[in-house]
Chain A
Amino acid sequence: MSKESSYGRKNLLISIVFAALIFFLSIKLDPYNQGQLAVALMMFIGILSIVLLTGASGQISLGQGALMAVGGFAAALSILNLGFSIWFAIIAAVLAALVAGLLLGIAAARLSGPYLAGTTLVIALAIPSLATRFDSVFAGDVGLNIDFGNPPGWLTSLMGEVGYEQWQLLATLPFAALALFFTANILSSRTGRSWRALRDHEIAASLAGVKISETKIFVFVISSGFAGLAGVLYGLRGIVGPSVYPISLSLMLLTGAVLGGIRSIIGALIGAILVVFLPDLIEWLMGFLSPSEQVANYLPAMISSLLLILTVVLNPGGIAAGLHHKKRRH
């Protein structure tokens, strides 16, 4: 008990430091990179959902983008039809994603390995199409316009002029810090240990008293809540629609998780920063080489695929595990 509460205090401190650092960056960066950092934080939350699901409990999902879409659509519909403020809409989105996660979890508890991967992949493909099929509700290809709106008056009176990108970043920041705090806590708790037991050996975990199906469903529910939160924040950048949550979004989250380190919170942050800023970095480098349009457009995808292959072959624990390993030798 005392050990867990000391973890809790430490995690709280770390989350506050994290928030303070990002806040500092939000003042230092130019608007474009403020916007990109906001996206990186959204991806961070999304990747945390994979860290919990795959990293901690060993269940594979290729469909986190679909759960992001659930969050996005729930928020958009509650804002546009029920007149919710974006803050209530974010809560509604997380609740909707939790329900979707429950349904998915009930199915997932019966599946494992490639069957689970296949099922979640199908869901990632299907959910955007549903938006087109039932277009009277989901507005089909046109999508639903929502956004962060203007920064509140107290913020501008406190900080002076707050740009649109900076506001996106500042509005996302508390949620990212909360997600960090929550994930760190859950992983260092009894719940987290039971998830890891499940991942490492189902039968052994079951003998030790872990309820396999219930735990699997629970993990799915929690992970979906994170994905839903990431999804609504991503949608609040301007639009919720099928082309906002394509299958490539699910794969991008997974890429970030693997590159950064699928079992690590720091890995999730590194992975998120990598997948968001890598295209910019490549574009900057390409400025010196000026390759043809066709090469330049496909280069980011090619390089991140290459990094993914190298990571899986050479350093399966991702960058975070690499850091960890080196430190331990000292």
Chain B
Amino acid sequence: MEKRNTFSPLTRRGMLAIVAGVAVSSLAITALPATAASDPGVSATEIVLGMQLPQSGAASPGYNKVDDAARAYFDYVNSKGGIYGRKVRLVVKDDQYKAGLTVSSASSLINKDKVFAFFGSIGTQTHISVIGDLNRRGIPDLFVNSGYSGFYTDPTLYPNTFGGLGTYVVESKIVGKYLKDTYPTKKIGILYQTDDFGRNALAGFTSPTSGLTFEAKKTAVNFIAGTQGSVGLASQLTALKANGVEIVIIAAVASATAIAVATAAQLGYKPEKWVVTSVGADATTFQTILGSKGITPAVSAGMLAGIISASHAPSPGEATDEYVTAFKKINDDFNKGPDKRWDNNVLQGMNIAYMATSALFGAGKNLTRKGLVSYIENNGSKIGSAALSPVTFSRTTHEAFNSFWIGAYDGATVLKPISGTRVLYTTDSGTGPVTVSNYVRPALPVDAISKGA
């Protein structure tokens, strides 16, 4: 440790080094030509879209498949001639779920890749870090993979941002009302993660519409998002067990669902029902995580069986659904990602690409950013989607979906409608009631490409 003191306060040499350093770095990062005057990212032959998501790091499992799935669908569209002759190119940036990186990579997408629009970005806090800037610049921000209602319910705040998922509030209002009606005498508890997603879901479950009530630390327990792997959730589940909770709701990501169910089994805690919000109920992620703990797929499928969840889309395991069948085929043929196993994440990635294609067709040959946003706002119902919920974009809300159906997993990890026939419930992110919807999804076009008409 005893080193000669080489500390130099700045000397003339130091100044030279600074000058040289700055000069070299300026050479190394030679400037690109200035931004074009209007609407970059669209030419006679190409439309460039940019996406930000965690491709590496702790938050990436499962989500890192969404971009490959979306690109597969766009490649399929390109193979059929593109959108009015323009091929869609998807540029993807890994932000590792760190908002500091999201800001830099957004600047890269805007200034270097010159994207026409942002598309399908994943993550609530990461997206908050750029949503203001995107809207200030007038860049369309399509089909964000976050159910955080704050992004979408006030279009005057973020006029260019549109959702890609149903909001957490809508889903939990629907599921909460179902539980209250179906199990009026049972003791219902909740395990949630303390972030926007967990709190947004809690707000839905405890809203007057669904009317569930919880008691903190007794029937409502929580954990800091991301810590489920290290803490194992044992103390939380012990509290629920000790307080005689018969039905456990989990409002957390899929990895936490897997850990909670496995830990409960270890503790000998067998609630009558598990209820899991849709983003936490991905069967592939559930089985992969339990697999890493030495639990075989057959056993984990058994643990998943009977779990109640909700969805705005068909279950990926529904072999008779025409959209599922078509998307699965496209995934097999076009997905070049490292993990193309068919699941919820792939279905979601395909569907937002399907919706984007529909909107880009709908906005017409003379494609502009303003034109695209205006088309989506005024023609929400014309935008194609595999979801069983209608697409609800309008001038008053930029939420994507307002309806969910409730199902239970069968022994083969497929979510099936809970009472045999599928019932679609609908509500809003505010105080509106839950009602039954009779929406029927339009049939799949022959070439599996919606033209938004």
Contacts and interface: CB of A to CB of B under 8 A. Distances in A.
B107 A264 contact: no
| Interface footprint category on B | 35 or more
Contact of B125 (A36, A243, A317): A243
A281 B132 contact: no
B378 interface: no
A98 interface: no
B99 A140 contact: no
Contact of A132 (B8, B18, B104, B195): B195
A244 B6 contact: no
Contact of A234 (B1, B14, B100, B108): B100
B108 A277 contact: no
Interface string B92-130: 001001111001100110111000000000001110111
Given A31-B111, A132-B194, A269-B18, A142 B150 contact: yes
Nearest to A164: B133
Given A14-B18, A142-B124, A133 B28 contact: no
Interface string A236-256: 011101111110110000000
A139 B98 CA distance: 16
A238 to B, nearest CB: 4
B21 interface: yes
Interface in A89-143: 129, 132-133, 135, 140-143
A21 B100 CA distance: 26
A141 B225 contact: yes
Interface in A164-180: 164-165
Contact of B129 (A21, A140, A238, A320): A238
A238 B337 contact: no
A30 B18 contact: no
A30 B5 contact: no
Interface residues of A, number: 74
B338 A18 contact: no
A294 B225 contact: no
Interface in B148-163: 148, 150
Interface of B is mostly: helix
Given A293-B338, A298-B56, A266 B21 contact: yes
A56 interface: yes
Interface of A: 7, 10-11, 14, 17-18, 21-22, 25, 28-33, 35-37, 39, 55-56, 58, 129, 132-133, 135, 140-143, 145, 147, 164-165, 184, 187-188, 192, 196, 200-201, 234, 237-239, 241-246, 248-249, 263-266, 269-270, 273, 277, 280-281, 292-294, 297-298, 317, 320-321, 323-324, 327
Interface of B: 1-2, 5-10, 13-15, 17-19, 21-23, 25-26, 28-29, 31-35, 55-56, 94, 97-100, 103-104, 107-108, 110-112, 124-126, 128-130, 132-133, 136-137, 148, 150, 194-197, 199, 224-225, 337-338
Given A14-B15, A238-B132, A265-B9, 15 more contacts: A17-B15, A17-B18, A29-B29, A35-B111, A39-B104, A133-B224, A135-B199, A187-B7, A201-B2, A234-B100, A238-B103, A244-B100, A246-B98, A294-B338, A327-B13
